[in-house]
Structure 1
């Protein structure tokens, strides 16, 4: 058995990491109540008591719009937390998986972003996640793995899918942004990708320090919402259809600027990490079936 520390274990990814954990993993699951990753002394004490062999940092400040006003907290979690965990890993000579985001890119491309494309974040959230990545790579150049993802959802926690289901029950019509394009990611598949990365890190067979992972395919938020309604109606999660209309980002202003195009190239995670290669709509159907029971 290998001791694995999972931070952010009560989030969407943390929940799926617990559900999909391989037999070799003895899990030490924490959220901020059990381990404040911005507290160096607390981290040192936790490492001493749990003696992890690897760390998966799934903890993050992910309130993208709120981060624009709450910069200090976002930096504490996304930058300082990642840095302190990486230092603890370096001191204990163990590897670390850092989960990051498509928001490190500006969205100016018209083809999928590769892991070695130049980051250019537009928001506080994107800037802090990129800084966290950089600290991990600098402190653990040979024993870290960055996995960037996007548009994560699961049956657990708050996310776009569950918000759409609620609004489709409550409202007579919806407008959803159609000029932001990316790929939805079921957290269950992301968790499988992370665990495969863990195995490679432990075996010393990680060839690339940064990988991208989402489900396959491309969608706008509008496409995603339309698919959610269609699939939910078939599964009996909704009892009526409502009109869903495409709108522009300019019609729905938010404090944080979001990338217009954030499709990630998954080739390396599919080949090197044997990550699931499933179309996002198939994954959505699986998650909704889980919700339907």
Structure 2
């Protein structure tokens, strides 16, 4: 347990070990000091990238810009990845399995936090993610009806759309796009398909499980943010979600935005406003 001050608020950082599918996983939880039992909403942060997350570099700036210190903040290290804090590395066991495995890991850590962190309010749960984590956030909300709010930015939504299908075709030829999670996804799904170790039907099911647009009518209150200038994830992925979203889920497209919230003017203010409802 480590006590620190973030954005002028005293918080406690704990690392939790829990078991997912027989393997030891690590996650972190940030709790406002002195918070009474059941008093704080819970927010899961699903990280972007392929290398786990460095709390100081990746999360603390977000905590400050989005006023996250009032939450019980849940921080999973997805399987085969790690959380880094003050030079220490907290690694989760298992083989990296982007999106599908990430969802299992995030929900497992959420359950552990609800069981062991008294301040957490189980009726006020949200998920926030960017990039790879944005897709994870949507899939978590679809899987678990306890999640009442979901926010994502710059993520994939439809693995059957033209943008992803073009990258699948390239990957089958050994040419991997620089998308977070993409090479591990190729090892887990595409290479076994090419080697005839996985059937086409199994591969299609793997794509469907990573495609929240096909279940979007079940999404809770939420937001999605995407820049029209994004050269990493095509804006068509956000437009596809906008076409099928429920009325309480807003999709914002930014003419000058690229990849990541910091490139989309006004996105963080919109997120802060929504989070006040959790």
Pair in the same fold by TM > 0.5: no
TM-score by length of 2: 0.33
TM-score by length of 1: 0.32
Which structure has more helix as a fraction of its residues? Answer: 1
Higher relative contact order (CA 8 A, sep 6+): 1
The structure with more radius of gyration? 1
